[in-house]
Each structure stands twice: as structure tokens, then as C-alpha cells.
Amino acid sequence: MSGAMHSFRLDGMQAVVTGAGSGLGQGAALALAEAGAAVVLVGRTQATLDATRAAIVDQGGEAKALVCDVTDPAQVKAGIEALPRIDVLVNNAGMNIPEDFLEVSEEHLDRILALNVKGAFLVAQAAARRMVAGRGGSIVNISSQMGHVGYPRRSVYCMSKHALEGLTKALAVELAPQGIRVNTVAPTFAETPMTRPFFEDRSFRDEVLGQIPIGRLAKVEDVMGAIVFLASPAAAMITGTSLLVDGGWTAR
């Protein structure tokens, strides 16, 4: 048996990151580029994608922007599925509207599920088609600790992330013969543009911190190593699992 460790490097690979204009998506794109991948930045806003691309180029990496609404099957097919090659997908685009279950509107229900579930499905399907046509690959779905537990005022979000965890397991089993690994990274509350307004409520912030044994919120960079690891050859035997980056939240 060889004693050589598989590489964490992604040199020569092409990675696609959705929601790459800010937050975890932007961090993932920067980390993948630093690990050697050429990155396709996917999002709905040209300006934010351009900012991420500039940051990658400044650090010596390679990236291009692809404006695409991942909830639109035609755009996903014309954009992502039309790429000549995909080795890594970070399926990150998502949203949340925290509100009491009894007050959730059908509009909010549809918006969250359209992005967090349908959009994730469409992008994974498009990327997998390219991977099957190529040499396999790695799909990393960005889930949440809320894909493993419940929490007040997160009914639709929890539902969507539990769905993503189930999709991940199904795809891992079905796509393994084609050389495609599928996993999730499931962070705790991280400080991002999406979550920042939530933490302006001091009582909510204190409540969340009380649930995290490590005693702090995640930073974007805390999640990046998990994404690069699952994308890389170092995780060659890992599929169908969820890597919780939750500071111990789900260990209670």
C-alpha cells in the first residue's frame, strides 16, 4: 500500500461556484482558485461576479463570470450545462426568510424552495451531465446545520436543507459508478451579507452563540477548508456524507 497522501490541490481542474458574488460563494471561489482551479463564477449580478473575479485575478488565479439565474432551467442549460468541462461544482446559491411558521406566505415558500431546492437540483443535474461526459468530478452542495436539526422561525429553510441532504445521498449512490462524488458542507451560522441583518438583534445573537460550544459564529474562511477538501483528491473515498462545520451545535 502506498504511503503517499492524496493531494488537496486542484491544479488543472475547472470549478463552478453558484452564488459566487458574495458570502460563502465568494469565499469558496477564492479558496478553490487558491488551490489551483480555474473557476466559473455563477450569479445573477454581473457587478458582484466581476468583483469576485477581480479578487481571484489579483491573487494570481483564473476566473470568469457567468450571469445565470439558477432557478431558470433554460438559463442553467444554456449557461452551466453548455460549459465544455466541469470537474468541481460548489452548489451554493441559497436564501432564507426567517418567520413564524404560522405566518409563512405561499410566496415566501415558493421563493425559498425555488432557489434552495429546485435551483440546486437543476445545477447539480447540469454539472453532472458535464461530469459524466468527462472524467467524473465532485459536487459539493452547501447545506446547513439546519439540514440536520430544527429551529424556530426556520421551517421552510430547514425543510429545504433537509431536502438537499436527501438529494445529496441519492445522487451519491446513483452517480458513484460514473466517478462523481456528492457531499454537503453544513455550516453553522456564519457572518455573511445574508445573515448580518439577523444578528443586529442582540437577543438572537446571544441565543445562537449559546448553542455553539465553540462560542462564536463561523467566519467565511472557517468553511473554506471543508469545501476544498471535499472537492479535492484527498476526499476520493468520501461520498454521500455531510461535513458539519457547526462549532459543535449538532453534537448536543
Cell readout for 1 is 500500500
Cell readout for 236 is 476520493
154 closest CA partner among 110, 210, 95, 197? 95
Q: What angle do helix axes 155-175 and 106-113 make, rounded to 10 degrees?
A: 30
Helices and strands of the chain, counted as H and E runs: 8, 7
CA angle at 113 for the pair 177 and 209, rounded to the nearest 5°: 95
Of 118, 161, 169, 219, which one is the catalytic site residue? 161
* Residue 77 annotated among the catalytic residues of the structure: no
119 closest CA partner among 79, 88, 73? 73
Of 77, 151, 157, 219, which one is the catalytic site residue? 157
Q: CB–CB of 33/58 below 8 Å?
A: no
* Residue 151 annotated among the catalytic residues of the structure: no
Alpha-carbon distance 237 to 102, whole Å?
43
**Is residue 66 helix, strand or coil?**
strand
Active site residues: 157, 161
